[in-house]
A and B are shown apart, each in its own frame.
Chain A
Amino acid sequence: MLTCIGLRKDYVTERGAVAAVAGIDLEVAAGRFAAIIGRSGSGKSSLMAMIGGLSRPSAGQVTVDGTDIWGLSENDLAAFRNRRIGYVFQFASLLPTLRLVDNVALPALLGRSRDGTDAYGRAAELLAQMGLGDHLDAYPSEVSAGEQRRAVIARALINDPAMILADEPTSDLDEQTEIEIMDELLAVNRERGTTLVLVTHNLALAEQAEQIVHIAGGGIVA
């Protein structure tokens, strides 16, 4: 269960403080697929960053399965990000100088959740499930944008997280690849029971969600 209470994010600019997220209350039940939609600059990415432990809120609370994540110590928060959350960013987020299999195994190695043999075995398995079994040793620049995104999903799953946060994961992909990537994410949600929170401005994608949160001006409008 994800719960946000009075969540607020202010950015300080030369003209004073600007509220990107202005006091949001939100609940997403475990295992659900929730879509956060809104126009550019509406605050949806800032909201997701706070939910995922990536950006400290100016005020408010984020609770995941009863844990107040912003009350955790620095190391515990790192462990939370490592074990409980899988991120799929809107940009190509693979480390270009590491092979796909290294990129996928990296979170397991960083968090020491698996030993080296187990981490690489699991990484190879996940890449194979994503149709990348023949590209384990390939570098990100040697595969297509869609394949890169599938590798990112594999990386997000390496530690069996409770929640996948996907921030406009298909915004730079063609229509066919977008459908394939969404199918992968939906499969993760349905087959593994992993909570999926998707940020998008694509209403067609959002309509597949069980819960739609419409953001505008930093607040929930629907």
Chain B
Amino acid sequence: MAADRRGLGWLLASLALQNLGRRRARSFLLIAAVAVASGVVFTGATLMRSIDRSMEIGFTRMGADMMVAPEGALTNITAALLTVEPTDLVLDADLFAKAGIASVRRAAPQKIARVEHSGIGSHHESADLIGFDPALDFTIRPWLVEKLNRDLQPGDVILGAGRDAPLGSQLLIFGKPHIVYGRLGRTGVGTHERGVFMTFQTFDGLAAAMGGHAGHGGNGSLAVLQPGKVSGFLVELAPGAPPLQARFAILSSLKGIKVVTGDTTMSGIRQGLAALLDGILALTVLMFASMALMVSVLFSAIVTERRAELGLLKSIGARRSQIVGMMVIEAVIATGVGGALGVVLGFLAMRLYERSLVYYLENMGVPFAWLATPQVVAFALGAIALSSIIGALGALTPAWRASRRDPYDLVRGES
């Protein structure tokens, strides 16, 4: 006579599950639709972060879109704008901050001093000491090929590829000890390869020593040692900003400057990809909004179909929270399965991306950096969780409305 004992949660969950099984075609369509949305979200999020990361370490390696230097400064034409050029002219450090030019995404100020007898290299060798703001920099640190396992600190220096010293070793500059924090990769840009890079704070700490050792052919007066002055700015344009218009905007907003334009092809690609990322984000939001609406409409129909069952449950004492809970469990099961399926589809889609977009980028010399596995797993779990949450929210309103009805109306099937 004994029968297996089952808990209330199990019974309500099995009612939800069996209802899904009763209408297989509808359940399949619901799961498929959620799978598509979840797959787009998972793939979109993973690709967006991967592309974003790749752009950080890839496109930024191609240098700035533009360089803004003091008017009258001599500048070399280089393949990539990675550092400003030594000059005896200077600009105010807060030039861009005050101007607020919309077409400029960020402007990284740099100070450069070409000095001799600094203690770097051979006795008469000149060295370019370059100060930068780590918060705004986008042309130096992307080139780090090795570094200490900590953040850049005052007193640290980063060496260009043309200089050699072990990481963590002490480097005396004008007799002052500095720690070799990192080394940059080869760029083919002379100043960048010969440079010794440091924060503004470290640079300013050497100002007194640098004053008497200005090198030939460089910034002889070392006006750049004055507080609040910089040698120039490396500029990244805002996504979608046409380089020509941005150039005119900068020239009309800032006085006493010249604008050196980099490779406009790369600027175009960078901006295009940034716009693509925005597009993917918008698509993702739209997908989830439409999914929530679809689940809500579908569960309105499911509630209508199951009025008698819900009425019966209320008649025998089910509380409103139990009715809502049962419907929400059903939605969570369906959308959770759909979400998981979408993640699997997303993995397959990313294999296709790998063979198309990634191949294209790598052909352009832009390394594509996939996210680390823990992050991908986090995105996968996030997509499944988000699908389930959207499912629960979509089912909540129709379930809540049904739970408010009198049991007798539900049993009689009244709408």
- Which residues of chain A have a CB within 8 Å of any CB of chain B? 46, 49, 52, 54-56, 74-75, 78-79, 81-83, 87, 89, 93, 95, 97-99, 101-102, 106-107, 109-112, 116-117, 119-120, 123-124, 128, 133, 136-137, 155, 159
Given A97-B14, A98-B14, A56–B406 Cβ distance below 8 Å?
yes
Q: Which interface residue of A79, A93, A97 has the most chain B CB atoms within 10 A? A: A97
CB distance from A24 to the nearest CB of B (A): 16
Shortest C-beta distance, A30 to chain B (Å), equals: 21
Is there an interface contact between A109 and B11, defined as CB atoms closer than 8 Å? yes
CA distance A82 to B314 in the complex (A): 9
Give how many B residues have a beta carbon under 8 Å from the other chain's beta carbons.
30
**Residues of B with C-beta under 8 A to A78:** 314, 317-320
Please tell me if the beta carbons of B409 and A82 are within 8 angstroms of each other in the complex.
no
Identify which of residues 294-341 in chain B touch chain A, using a CB-to-CB cut-off of 8 Å: 309, 312-320, 322
A205 to nearest B CB, angstroms? Answer: 22
* Sampled A-B contacts (25; CB under 8 Å): A46-B408, A49-B406, A54-B314, A54-B407, A55-B406, A74-B320, A78-B314, A81-B407, A82-B316, A89-B315, A98-B15, A101-B3, A106-B8, A109-B7, A109-B8, A110-B8, A110-B313, A110-B322, A116-B6, A117-B5, A119-B5, A128-B1, A133-B1, A136-B2, A159-B317
Using A78-B320, A99-B3, A136-B3 as known contacts, say yes or no to A54 and B315 having CB atoms under 8 A apart: yes
Given the known interface contacts A82-B316, A136-B1, the answer about A49 and B18 at a Cβ–Cβ threshold of 8 Å is no
Quick check: is B260 within 8 A (CB to CB) of the other chain? no
Whether a CB of chain A sits under 8 angstroms from the CB of B411 is yes
Task: Tell whether, in the assembled complex, residue A82 and residue B15 are in contact, meaning their CB atoms are under 8 Å apart.
Answer: no
In the bound complex, residues from chain B placing their C-beta under 8 Å from that of A55 are 406-409
Q: How many Å lie between the Cα of A52 and that of B407 in the bound state?
A: 10
Which among A54, A98, A102, A106 is the interface contact of B406 at CB below 8 angstroms? A54
- Which of B5, B18, B317, B408 interacts with A97 by CB under 8 Å? B18
Q: How far is the CB of B406 from chain A (nearest CB, A)?
A: 5
Are A124 and B317 interface neighbours, CB within 8 A?
Answer: no
Tell me the B residues contacting A by CB distance below 8 Å: 1-8, 11, 14-15, 18-19, 22, 309, 312-320, 322, 406-409, 411
In the complex, what residues of B have CB within 8 A of residue A124's CB?
Answer: 1-3
A155 proximity list for chain B (CB < 8 A) = 316
Which residues on A sit within 8 Å (CB–CB) of B4? 137
- Write the nearest CB–CB distance from A140 to chain B, whole angstroms: 12
CB <8 Å contact, B317 and A116: no
Name the B residues within 8 Å of A119 (CB-CB).
5
A-B pairs with the 4 shortest C-beta distances? A82-B317, A55-B408, A97-B18, A49-B408
Query: Which A residues are in CB contact (< 8 Å) with B314?
Result: 54, 78, 81
**Do the beta carbons of B316 and A106 come within 8 Å of each other?**
yes
CB distance from A3 to the nearest CB of B (A): 20
CB distance from A62 to the nearest CB of B (A): 13
Alpha-carbon distance between A89 and B312 when the two chains are bound, in angstroms: 9
